[in-house]
Structure 1
Amino acid sequence: MRGGLSGFMIFLTCIALGVAAIGGVNSVARAISAGVADEGQSLLGGDIRFELTQREATAAERTFLSRLGTPAASATMRSMARLEDGSDQALVEVKAVDGDYPLYGPLETAPALSREYLLGERNGVYGAAAPDILFERLNIEPGSRIRLGEGTFELRALLVSEPDAVSEGFGFAPRLMVSLEGLRASGLIQPGSLVHHAYKLRLPDGTSDARIAAIREQARTQFPEAGWSVRTRSNAAPALASNIERFSQFLTLVGLTALVVGGVGVANAVRAYLDGKRGVIATFKSLGASGGFVFTVYLVQILMISGLGIMVGLVLGALMPFAATAALASVLPVPAEASVYPAALGVAALFGVMVTLAFALLPLGRARDVPATALFREMGFEGSGLPRLPYTAAALGIALLLALFAIWFSGDRRIATIFVGAMVFSFLVLRYVGVLVQWLARRSPRVKSTALRLAIGNIHRPGALTPSVVLSLGLGLTLLVTLALIDGNLRRQIAGSLPERAPNFFFVDIQNSEADAFSRLVEQEAPEGALARVPMLRGRVMAINGLDVQKMTVPADGAWVLRGDRGLTYEAEKPGNATLTEGKWWPRDYSGEPLVSFSSEEGNAIGLKLGDTVTVNVLGRNVTAKIANFRQVQWESMGINFVMVFSPNTFAGAPHSWLATLTASEATPVEEARILNAVTRAFPAVTTVRVKDALDIVNRLVGQLGTAIRAAASVALIASVLVLAGALAAGNRARIHDAVVLKTLGATRRTLIAAFSLEYALIGLATAVFALLAGGIAAWFIVARIMQLPSVFLPEVAVGTVVAALALTVGIGLVGTWRVLGHKAAPVLREL
């Protein structure tokens, strides 16, 4: 150890990088989760929240809530905010609050105003607050007035932050905060309007989670048909928590990939180090040292060096939550609770030790069994084969434990199992790819070019770098190709093929009394367009075959149907875009028991069959319908589609609004703006969603997510590059001898540079071809089979991968061999 860490810097960097990635990602995830838990009351806006759709709480329900604690009521809906002169408009997420809002946490505005002054009525005009993005979209300033429905509102302040924003879910439009009185005065709340009413309670101090759970059960028992969604402070932001868990799991697996790729660097470093110590090992053995003694001495040394790398990684991982607190403050709606998380760091350290042992035991085992005479005579350990069985078994056993621990510590063990299996499979395939490349090189025809002949010989000679280079670079490139193809296919689906068949507009909250007049106006403004219109209600699935859905375990593919509110409709005749897969449609004049048509894909995921019953709560009333048929739904068409379509008699007399789409494929942006202005002026209560704007938002989000994922996956590529550099450095001693002998025999520097460049280019090209094939297959499976979207191969990804592989292999290879070419011949020739 007094000899320093020469030759182990890549070893240390690989271990530190992988440990830091795993420990840091898990620490940051725990910090955010702790922040969510600690801020549960503020994030939810209360200790417990009851939410209703399309109706307000009844007098009995409000009395029940008032007896429990201090209530605060709010309502949310989408609508159109218009300038007073009608020259421009924008979609907004309206949030109307009462005088008790917020129960927890501060409402921040600029300037800071009292609740009464901010949202109250002055001279017949109610106040409002909005974020700066709405001011930018409408090109207005604080103090300007806008129209919302039939009401006029004055934007009195800039909305900086609302404490419970994260619990409201993702919005496609800017927030517009008004008072409940102002929203009612706007005329937007009509029977059947898509409005979500929330009632948040501030319970007495010291109320336990057990008491809150009892309140939740009491509400369900006392009002079985209320149909409200209940959420508590302990689960204030389930979507955020779920996304954090999924993303941290992905990053942990990426970090594990980097660590395992770094394990190849560990094996290379250990082999190169022992190769340089062959004289010392031979001397040990000549003086009577046993093989076990040699193994133990160098194992202890490797573990000490690994321990240093793990410590560096743990320090970096422990610092990540503190860095993330500052970096993510403007991104996350909740402060991360920066601290040191021993459990997260412990898992990272365990992985670091296991990777070191799994990859170091084989070269250490070889050194243990090589006799002293062979060590004195041979250049290294290349021809020694596998070590004896105990060492091989120990390495495989530790690798198996590493895989099991990776699965055990994962939040989604199914995905982790697939990931680990794919990694093991990739290792095996890459090993055989290296063997195949050497086999092809060995059997290639003799070429006239001296440089190319030398390059081909270097690929298949004993001790060649081919297996190490293919293995180290192959995993990183395959991961990046997979992610790039998935991202490219999603972008193509969103920005390319969808707009060709998607509607131009969605129109929501068309009142019954205005439906015919609305249709006439749209047909007049867009005579070449196709208008589709269906009735729409909102409901929540309460039971399947009489069993409470909250007590059911359903696969993720169908679980979303049972969570939250769903759009519902009724049809007398089979919709034109519906294809029945099972059962029959009801007669046009059907008047028997309520029937429902269910989406076949989601129905199969839930486990439904013909004749099963589905109970939905609509407007505070439970309705049970029998499944009459299943139909295929093409969600990607972005047309009007519903999971459930009921027979008309199911909701006879129920107030509802209408949903419509307008498809005008030839409409220009100017014509779309004209249609939007005409609809907004004539029907201010109708919410208009321009599909292109929504697609742009989704495309931007996908792009940001793709960039973040590729940046995270670059950790694995960095490890691959480090291992590649280590593998090339480990072979430099043999290359020094080759270069000296060839130069003695008359080879020029240009010939040697050309030979080395061609060697690295051929290996890099073979690795790139494998990465394209493996990454293409993996991306196709995810996009076509899991996401069920059209999958295409993207040539630009192929070109980029080949260029990256060649640049890395040739560039790093030439940097490493430049010193070899300048080595003096005499010292080397004396040792031959």
Structure 2
Amino acid sequence: MTRFNLALRLLWRDSRSGELTILVLALIIAVTSSTAISLFADRLQRTMTTQAAEFLAADLVIASPTLIPETWLAKADQLNLAQAQTVEFSSVLMENDELLLAGVKSVSDLYPLRGYLKTTTSDYLAETSVDKGPEPGTAWVDKRILSALKLNLGDALTVGEKKLTVSRIITYEPDKRGDFYSFSPRVMISRQDLKATGVIQPGSHVHYFFQFSGDSKALSQFNRWIKPRLNPSQRLMDIHEDRPELGSALSRAERYLGLSSIVVILIAGVAIAMATRRYTERHFNTTAILRCLGCKQREVLWLYSCQFVVLGMLASAAGCLLGWFAQEALFHLLRGLLPAQVANPGLLAVFFGFITGMVILLGFALPPILRLKQVSPLRVLRRDLEPLPSSAWLIYGLSIGLVSVLIWRYTDDVKMTATIIGVGLAALLLLGLLVYAVLTMSRRLLPHMSLIWRFGLQGLFRNSRASVSQILAFSLTLVAMVLSFTVRTDLLDNWHKQLPEQAPNHFALNIFPDQQPAFQQELEQQQIAGSRFYPVVRGRLVEINQTPVQQVVSKDTQGENATHRELSLTWSNDLPEDNKITTGRWWQSERAGLVSVEQKLAKSLKIKVGDRLTFTVGSEQFEATVSSLRDLQWDTMKPNFYMIFSPGTLDGYPSTFITSFYLPEDRKNLLNDLIKKFPSTTILEVDLILQQFKTILTQLTAAINYLLYFALLAGFTVLFAAVYSTLDDRIYDGALMRTLGANRAFLRKTHLIEFTLLGLISGLLAILISEIILYTLYTQVMHMDYVPNIYLWGIMPLIGALFVGLAGYWGVRGVVNKSPLLVLREL
């Protein structure tokens, strides 16, 4: 306790004298930023997961072609899970001598368990949100059903053998899926009217959806209990696979939130390392006295480590509190864009912020502290006796390992973690050696410069190692800012490019080959913008390298879902514009027998280039060799395919065509004309899905913009920590120069020249490092197109020179006012 009391007394003395100001400030900002981002990301992801659950109208959904056993429902009751059921099927409606194929959906009383329905009785501006479906005896319909069947609200609509009163128009349906029943014009009825319709008979093609919601632990328990009992035709629905256009957006947003956390961690580590270095250098003399008074090396190390642990706990606690308020303020600013119900802050995220602060502090502060135990007692007599540098490679390796674990924890992506750490360290090492070499060779220019420039550059050359460390610190800070800003901009631009204002909002299926030219001509005459027409053959994947696919696929994977149903197979001579080859080659000539596979499905089924796949179409089989794997964007609202074959492979099999096109709301009546001219064609409307996706995009865009500010705030900490790390040497040099006749204006100019050059060099290195990391991230991790940003090459060095120059000038402004006599007396 005596040594602990001594540690507290020394800590209190240093805090009163201002020795710890920069260090505490750096740690508090680091913990505040990381805690705020951790809390914000945790709440946003849980909110988005809840909102994503609204797109399924429940927390957990079982899709089945038949009714599920009563014991399953009893198990859900036992776990206190709320339950709802929906049944979807196709039915031909006939009213006023008009025919229309519609998707009928019957819903139970508690539907929807998550989210809400929107309906109206007049126009879309007067829509009302409701939390339950239609009453028995009534039907809610899509607006197009009224125009197609010449009906008005209040009229009777016959579904099968049951007459229902059309009471409302559906404008929003949370769980509208990407299948035939959901995209067809909707009729929603009560579950109590389903039997009276008489539509469902033995052998009818029907989809049942059993929906559950409740406590997360109960849901997890039910999930584990139900999975082994599902048969191959039943499955648990998931937002990432059943709504890939939404799952893709959420996955990319989660990656960016992780990247923002990485940025703050790296910047905070640099700031703390530089602040601790100055702290330890100012305590060499104190440590020498302690050694003279009998303190052993391990006692010195324990003394200072104890101080840093106490300091870290206090600063981390303060940072966690400020981080809590910061994320609350952020959610308040975004309240108009986020869902009405936002997830509550999680204490685990706060605790993780506290642990992050301690890990960053000890990981980056321990190497400089190790030098203190090397201080010799002789330093009391010889002030120039510096302690030997500790072999800190092991400690720095440990700190990098700890940071890597934190990065992995934030991103849950080993590949991204390895990319950031590996590429960053390699680039820093190589560029550090390059900068050191350039500074060494640049000494020859000093005799040819004016006096002010000579002294300004001398500040860089006098201690090349310190200058290199400062340049690398500034570079790392600027790299973090460039990465945060560039990825944010490119991510949002990429989203908007994939989803322009006139993104396709309708799909046309089952276009017969002899009708395809006429259908295309009709779209052109009506000036309707559409995508290309793709031929479609329905088939199944049955074998991989002559091994039945059921022996290869894992349960509850994308591959299992794909192999238990027919796939839409197509062929093309050219690679679709939104597809990108990741492995293998696209065919250069019309050679039959080749297939290109979507890469996520290929990973799930362990398919590689060169494998032989066997398909069945009807009663016939054929084989194809995998020539390439493709990455594709599901959120473009254009036709996408798991399998694309080379021309000639599917010749002889019956096919139809599919396309997508954009049609504004005020021209919806043209759909009825298309159906009449091409009665065999099915028109699917995806307006609501498009609206849902744009809503998520708007929310994520706003959140990403605000997250950028946290990274910038942490970045400025490094600037001042780096400046103050050399403040003592500058005070001595300034006193010596003023003693020799230099005035204050001369010193200010030399400082401005030195820091501006530091910033200029740091800006050049930052843009070089960031371009290397961006290229690796985009091409290997985020699967985005990489385009070098020419403007940043011109702007970043200027920004570095401006910010580092001003920060340095401001930080050392007091140096020129120090009395030379007082400074020299203290030596």
1:562-577 alignment, distance < 5 Å: 562=562, 568-569=568-569, 575=573
Verify the 8 A CA contact 1:596 1:644 in the aligned structure 2: no
SS for the counterpart of 1:552 is coil
1:747 to 715, 738, 742: 742
State yes or no: 1:461 paired with 2:462: yes
2:86 to 69, 73, 81: 73
Alpha-carbon shift at residue 233 of structure 1 (Å): 12
Verify the 8 A CA contact 1:41 1:236 in the aligned structure 2: no
State yes or no: 1:547 paired with 2:549: yes
**Residues paired across the two proteins, number:** 740
Question: In structure 2, what is the Cα distance between the partners aligned to 1:95 and 1:455?
Answer: 79
Verify the 8 A CA contact 2:32 2:319 in the aligned structure 1: yes
1:283 to 289, 295, 309: 289
Deviations 1:523-576 (A, max 9, x none): 54569x99953444777868754233894399x9x97995998861456xx646
Residue identity matched to 1:297: L
State yes or no: 1:415 paired with 2:390: no
Residue identity matched to 2:463: P
Alpha-carbon shift at residue 602 of structure 1 (Å): 6.8
1:2 to 3, 12, 32: 12
Verify the 8 A CA contact 2:432 2:472 in the aligned structure 1: yes
2:301 to 295, 304, 312: 295
Residue identity matched to 1:767: S
SS for the counterpart of 1:446 is helix
1:353–1:202: structure 2 CA closer, same or farther, 3 Å change rule?
A: closer
1:723 alignment partner in structure 2: 718
1:521-560 alignment, distance < 5 Å: 521-522=522-523, 524-525=525-526, 532-536=532-536, 544=544, 545-548=547-550, 551-552=553-554
2:209 to 199, 203, 224: 199
Question: In structure 1, what is the Cα distance between the partners aligned to 2:294 and 2:250?
Answer: 58
Alpha-carbon shift at residue 454 of structure 1 (Å): 1.1
1:440–1:262: structure 2 CA closer, same or farther, 3 Å change rule?
A: farther
Verify the 8 A CA contact 1:483 1:710 in the aligned structure 2: no
Residue identity matched to 2:389: L
1:682–1:466: structure 2 CA closer, same or farther, 3 Å change rule?
A: same
1:827 alignment partner in structure 2: 822
Between 268-277 and 446-455, report the one with greater CA deviation: 268-277
Verify the 8 A CA contact 1:39 1:334 in the aligned structure 2: no
1:50–1:575: structure 2 CA closer, same or farther, 3 Å change rule?
A: farther
Alpha-carbon shift at residue 451 of structure 1 (Å): 1.7
SS for the counterpart of 1:818 is coil
Residue identity matched to 1:738: D
1:322–1:567: structure 2 CA closer, same or farther, 3 Å change rule?
A: farther
Verify the 8 A CA contact 2:284 2:375 in the aligned structure 1: no
1:12–1:196: structure 2 CA closer, same or farther, 3 Å change rule?
A: farther
Residue identity matched to 1:518: F
Verify the 8 A CA contact 2:61 2:212 in the aligned structure 1: no
2:25 to 13, 16, 37: 13
SS for the counterpart of 2:13 is coil
Question: In structure 2, what is the Cα distance between the partners aligned to 1:203 and 1:673?
Answer: 35
Verify the 8 A CA contact 2:424 2:769 in the aligned structure 1: no
Verify the 8 A CA contact 2:275 2:721 in the aligned structure 1: yes
1:772–1:808: structure 2 CA closer, same or farther, 3 Å change rule?
A: same
2:163 alignment partner in structure 1: none
1:261 to 258, 262, 267: 267
Question: In structure 2, what is the Cα distance between the partners aligned to 1:524 and 1:37?
Answer: 43
Verify the 8 A CA contact 2:734 2:815 in the aligned structure 1: yes
1:744–1:30: structure 2 CA closer, same or farther, 3 Å change rule?
A: closer
SS for the counterpart of 1:369 is coil
Verify the 8 A CA contact 2:141 2:169 in the aligned structure 1: no
1:530–1:169: structure 2 CA closer, same or farther, 3 Å change rule?
A: closer
Deviations 1:44-77 (A, max 9, x none): 446863447xxxx5xxx25878996886325599
Question: In structure 2, what is the Cα distance between the partners aligned to 1:436 and 1:697?
Answer: 55
Q: Which runs of 5+ in 2 are unaligned?
A: 1-10, 75-82, 91-101, 119-126, 154-165, 200-204, 577-584
1:716–1:747: structure 2 CA closer, same or farther, 3 Å change rule?
A: same
Deviations 1:712-733 (A, max 9, x none): 4554443332122022123233
Verify the 8 A CA contact 2:240 2:246 in the aligned structure 1: no
1:541–1:216: structure 2 CA closer, same or farther, 3 Å change rule?
A: farther
Question: In structure 1, what is the Cα distance between the partners aligned to 2:475 and 2:770?
Answer: 10
Verify the 8 A CA contact 2:481 2:715 in the aligned structure 1: no
Verify the 8 A CA contact 1:74 1:199 in the aligned structure 2: yes
Between 347-356 and 749-758, report the one with greater CA deviation: 347-356
Question: In structure 1, what is the Cα distance between the partners aligned to 2:329 and 2:539?
Answer: 44
Residue identity matched to 1:480: M
Q: Which runs of 5+ in 1 are unaligned?
A: 78-92, 130-143, 190-194, 587-594, 663-668
Verify the 8 A CA contact 1:22 1:252 in the aligned structure 2: no
1:530–1:326: structure 2 CA closer, same or farther, 3 Å change rule?
A: closer
Question: In structure 2, what is the Cα distance between the partners aligned to 1:19 and 1:821?
Answer: 34
State yes or no: 1:365 paired with 2:347: no
1:90 alignment partner in structure 2: none
1:580–1:373: structure 2 CA closer, same or farther, 3 Å change rule?
A: closer
Alpha-carbon shift at residue 322 of structure 1 (Å): 6.7
Alpha-carbon shift at residue 102 of structure 1 (Å): 0.3
Verify the 8 A CA contact 2:504 2:637 in the aligned structure 1: no
Alpha-carbon shift at residue 327 of structure 1 (Å): 7.0
SS for the counterpart of 2:85 is strand
TM-score (norm 2): 0.70
2:360 to 355, 359, 364: 355
Alpha-carbon shift at residue 822 of structure 1 (Å): 2.7
Residue identity matched to 1:818: R
Alpha-carbon shift at residue 808 of structure 1 (Å): 1.7
2:429 alignment partner in structure 1: 428
Question: In structure 2, what is the Cα distance between the partners aligned to 1:709 and 1:511?
Answer: 42
Between 246-255 and 449-458, report the one with greater CA deviation: 246-255
Question: In structure 2, what is the Cα distance between the partners aligned to 1:7 and 1:521?
Answer: 78
2:808 alignment partner in structure 1: 813
Question: In structure 1, what is the Cα distance between the partners aligned to 2:136 and 2:530?
Answer: 41
Alpha-carbon shift at residue 267 of structure 1 (Å): 3.2
Verify the 8 A CA contact 1:485 1:776 in the aligned structure 2: no
Question: In structure 2, what is the Cα distance between the partners aligned to 1:17 and 1:622?
Answer: 67
Alpha-carbon shift at residue 309 of structure 1 (Å): 1.5
Alpha-carbon shift at residue 359 of structure 1 (Å): 3.0
Residue identity matched to 1:509: L
Question: In structure 2, what is the Cα distance between the partners aligned to 1:197 and 1:315?
Answer: 50
Alpha-carbon shift at residue 302 of structure 1 (Å): 2.6
Between 43-52 and 777-786, report the one with greater CA deviation: 43-52
1:828–1:787: structure 2 CA closer, same or farther, 3 Å change rule?
A: closer
Alpha-carbon shift at residue 761 of structure 1 (Å): 1.0
1:680-759 alignment, distance < 5 Å: 681-683=673-675, 687=683, 708-709=703-704, 711-712=706-707, 714-759=709-754
2:338 alignment partner in structure 1: 331
1:12-411 alignment, distance < 5 Å: 12-26=24-38, 44-45=56-57, 49-51=61-63, 57=65, 61-62=66-67, 72-73=85-86, 75=88, 96-98=105-107, 100=109, 102=111, 104-105=113-114, 107=116, 111=128, 127=140, 149-150=148-149, 165=174, 179=188, 197=207, 199-200=209-210, 218=229, 220=231, 224=232, 226=233, 229-231=235-237, 251=257, 254-255=260-261, 257-316=263-322, 331-332=338-339, 335-341=342-348, 344-374=349-379, 377-378=382-383, 381=386, 384-387=387-390, 389=391, 393-394=394-395, 396-397=397-398, 399-400=400-401, 402-403=403-404, 407=408, 411=412
Residue identity matched to 1:13: L
Deviations 1:583-638 (A, max 9, x none): 9855xxxxxxxx8844486787542466734568x9xx999653256468796899
Question: In structure 2, what is the Cα distance between the partners aligned to 1:333 and 1:95?
Answer: 30
Residue identity matched to 1:336: A
Question: In structure 2, what is the Cα distance between the partners aligned to 1:511 and 1:602?
Answer: 29
1:726–1:340: structure 2 CA closer, same or farther, 3 Å change rule?
A: same
1:426–1:820: structure 2 CA closer, same or farther, 3 Å change rule?
A: same
SS for the counterpart of 2:659 is strand
Residue identity matched to 1:642: F
Deviations 1:181-228 (A, max 9, x none): 99x9xxxx9xxxxx99552256999998777666665552xxx5x4x5
SS for the counterpart of 1:754 is helix
Deviations 1:16-52 (A, max 9, x none): 3333444555555666777799999977446863447
2:161 alignment partner in structure 1: none
